[in-house]
């Protein structure tokens, strides 16, 4: 069972429950692609920019921060197979540097100091454990809180403008609950086409966001209980990693349901091992603890066995996904 919900997982369920299942219930991990790698590296460079003294927050230093961040992570397992050749990587890097130059056309980072960066926000709304990381929080000259998010893509047309604020509305809600102060504005900075979209926060807006996340969570719980995650054919299907195993587009797709069972057994065993470890071993557990009679060897063997079954199933599915 899912323990936490992030705004992006909630949006994913809204867009396509089947995609949500593949990613979060079956846990078929989507490998990092070039677009995601560019987004995270650009975000990190922007975060580190504000570690520099104000007078050093210029284009050259921002570009150097990007190069440094990429140099540190480019050999990771996650990134090492991203590019077929140096030319592709170079073109990708130049594009990322352009995004950072675009940023400097929108804001002058030497003129302000963010209040917080890469801030964890978490909280409980009814029985939903919500969590996420907001990119930046500022305090404007009137003392108001502003929540800021960088987007490495293009700003949407006015028709889709407000729906893109969903995550920030939830962050504003959690910040309000945590700090007792309501943020006054949400700001999305789109780097691809140098555009800023802002939205003033109202009580009604936060109430609507709260009701919406509760409704999504209830729908997720219902889907898990009934084992029903319908496909929702949409404009983004062509970019969906799971399309090759999606029943909407293929006959005879592999059944991924057993992954859910494997994941729940693995989680349960890991939770037990963690609980025993936390108190310092079986012998330290009180006599009346339900874990006292745990056969550690037996559950470790079972864990290896289930992990092996899971890995075999995942590798069969991945062969289809990566064809």
Nearest to ligand SF4 of 190, 242 (CB atom): 242
Distance of closest approach, residue 23 Cβ to ligand SF4, in angstroms: 9
Give one word for 120, left, alpha or beta, with left for phi > 0 and alpha for psi -120 to 50.
beta
Triad 302, 303, 306: Cα angle to 5° = 85
Distance of closest approach, residue 28 Cβ to ligand SF4, in angstroms: 11
Nearest to ligand SF4 of 14, 243 (CB atom): 243
* Residue numbers at the binding site for ligand SF4 (CB under 6 A): 16, 18-19, 231-234, 237, 240, 242-243, 246, 248
CA atoms within 13 Å, Cβ hemisphere of 58: 3
For the CA atoms of 138, 143, 145, 150, what is the dihedral angle to 10 degrees?
Answer: -30
Collapse the DSSP code of 80 into the 3-class scheme (helix H, G, I; strand E, B; otherwise coil) and give the result. Answer: coil
Distance of closest approach, residue 44 Cβ to ligand SF4, in angstroms: 28
Cα dihedral sign, 74-36-249-218: positive
Distance of closest approach, residue 266 Cβ to ligand SF4, in angstroms: 24
Q: How many residues does the chain have?
A: 323
CA–CA dist 323, 307 (Å, integer): 24
Nearest to ligand SF4 of 19, 256 (CB atom): 19
Does residue 270 contact residue 262 with C-beta atoms inside 8 Å?
no
- Ordered alpha helix ranges (H), 125-256: 158-161, 166-179, 203-226
Nearest to ligand SF4 of 16, 82 (CB atom): 16
Nearest to ligand SF4 of 224, 237 (CB atom): 237
Does residue 223 contact residue 15 with C-beta atoms inside 8 Å?
no
The neighbouring-strand residues paired with 163 are none
Nearest to ligand SF4 of 240, 306 (CB atom): 240
Distance of closest approach, residue 242 Cβ to ligand SF4, in angstroms: 5
Distance of closest approach, residue 159 Cβ to ligand SF4, in angstroms: 20
């Amino acid at each position: 069972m899912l323990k936490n919900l992030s705004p992006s997982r909630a949006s994913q369920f809204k867009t396509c429950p089947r995609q949500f299942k593949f990613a979060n219930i079956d846990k078929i991990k989507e490998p990092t692609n070039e677009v995601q790698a560019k987004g995270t590296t650009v975000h990190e460079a922007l975060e580190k920019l504000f570690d520099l003294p104000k007078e050093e927050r210029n284009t050259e230093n921002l570009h150097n921060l990007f190069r440094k961040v990429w140099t540190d992570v480019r050999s990771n397992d996650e990134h090492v197979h991203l590019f077929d050749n140096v030319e592709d990587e170079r073109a990708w890097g130049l594009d990322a540097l352009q995004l950072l130059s675009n940023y400097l056309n929108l804001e002058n980072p030497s003129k302000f100091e963010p209040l917080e960066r890469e801030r964890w926000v978490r909280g409980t709304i009814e029985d939903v454990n919500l969590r996420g990381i907001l990119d930046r929080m500022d305090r404007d000259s009137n003392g108001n809180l502003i929540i800021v998010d960088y987007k490495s893509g293009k700003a949407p047309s006015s028709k889709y403008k407000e729906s893109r604020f969903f995550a920030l509305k939830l962050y504003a809600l959690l910040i309000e609950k945590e700090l007792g102060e309501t943020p006054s504005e949400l700001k999305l900075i789109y780097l691809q086409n140098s555009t800023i979209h802002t939205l003033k926060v109202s009580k009604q807006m936060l109430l609507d966001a709260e009701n919406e996340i509760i409704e999504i969570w209830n729908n997720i719980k219902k889907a898990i209980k009934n084992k029903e995650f319908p496909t929702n054919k949409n404009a983004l299907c062509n970019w969906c990693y799971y399309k090759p195993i999606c029943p909407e587009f293929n006959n005879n797709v592999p059944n991924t349901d057993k992954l859910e069972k494997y994941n729940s057994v693995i989680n349960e065993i890991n939770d037990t091992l963690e609980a025993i470890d936390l108190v310092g071993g079986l012998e330290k557990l009180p006599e009346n603890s339900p874990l006292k009679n745990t056969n550690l060897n037996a559950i470790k063997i079972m864990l290896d066995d289930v992990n092996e079954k899971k890995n075999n199933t995942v590798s069969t599915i991945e062969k289809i996904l990566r064809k």
